[in-house]
Structure 1
């Protein structure tokens, strides 16, 4: 007997997996951006990223319409690590040590590329930014850690989690390494105490 059930229609074009060559180009662009940004900072010419990936600028801009889109793609791994770490530290017994440990990891993650921490700080302050959307899980995780520390009385009650992230991102950087100068980070951390 013949079935009267209509045949399944093909998946819409937008739901299909990207073609193999498109996926390769995407991965090549991300790998190139990591190298170029590590060498020249996040303000490096996008043409240099395309050239290093071995693709044309049209391919670059099809995958990443703006520099911010490249930056957001590179942030993904860092955001996942920071979110996962925040959830783990919520179970740790000492709220202050958990907060400090997470903020040091945040600072280290945000200084991987010269200029990165400034971009993160600007993105966190602008809710419409793709950076803010990409960092939302990390911000939520830190917010929970921060609230826990404040509830335990080990953090000042007159500051917010976002203010702390912005301060850490804005700290002076070592010009040779691009990392935060440790003395400044220590001063901010001590200033969080009530």
Structure 2
């Protein structure tokens, strides 16, 4: 891609990211083009569909989550790695209002522009879950699909103004339900106030 085309591409992505953060994934493509100071045809030349635009916006974040999972596998305990990755996933999904529905649809649709990014990112979380299960720190009756659904539900809370203040508390509730008692006792100990000496 030529330097000027790359600059236009990056500018469109930056504007689209800002608009989608404000208005959600159903934001008007015409509005994105107008805010980027280009015609709709120019936007569509770079991103022919809404999904292609979302894929370009999300791919970097999903790749970062995949990389983070690999780092956590070697640098953190299984339960800490899983909780840290879940927290990052929820934060990523909250960046773009309404993206959870698109992600859930893309996982099932192999023709979706988002499919490959979502599948790779979900697989990285599944590996962390399996590692925690092998160590006995996560319940064994859930799989990667369940984990992705729970993470998506937690991200969805951020899109609900009346529930957003409860999001952190509910995150703790869900992670406590995923972790076994051994993992929970460590997490609880960290949350308890330290005794003053």
TM-score normalised according to structure 2 size: 0.80
CA drift at 1:62: 1.4
Ranges in structure 2 where 5+ consecutive residues have no aligned partner:
181-197
For structure 1, which segment, 171-180 or 64-73, has the greater mean C-alpha deviation from structure 2 after superposition? 171-180
Residues 44-86 of structure 1 deviation map (CA, whole Å, 9 limit, x = unaligned) = 1010111111111111111111111111101122112211110
In structure 1, distance between residues paired with 2:163 and 2:45:
33
Q: Tell me, what secondary structure is at the counterpart of 2:130? A: helix
| Alignment CA distance shift 1:155-1:175 (3 Å) | same
Please tell me whether residue 175 in structure 1 is matched to residue 158 in structure 2: no
CA contact (8 A) 1:99 1:145 kept: yes
* Larger helix share, 1 or 2: 2
**Does 2:12 align with 1:26?**
no
The yes-or-no answer on 1:189 pairing with 2:189 is no
Maintained 8 Å contact 1:107/1:180: no
1:89 to 64, 72, 90: 72
Distance 1:151 1:71 in 2: 35
Question: CA RMSD of the aligned region, Å?
Answer: 2.2
Query: How many residues are paired up?
Result: 177
Deviation at 1:178, TM superposition (A): 6.4
Q: Does 1:140 align with 2:123?
A: yes
Maintained 8 Å contact 1:111/1:180: no
With the length of structure 1 as denominator, give the TM-score of the two structures: 0.81
Structure 1 unaligned spans of 5+: 1-17
- Asked which structure has the greater CA Rg, the reply is 1
What pairs with 1:27-106 in structure 2 (closer than 5 Å)? 27-106=10-89
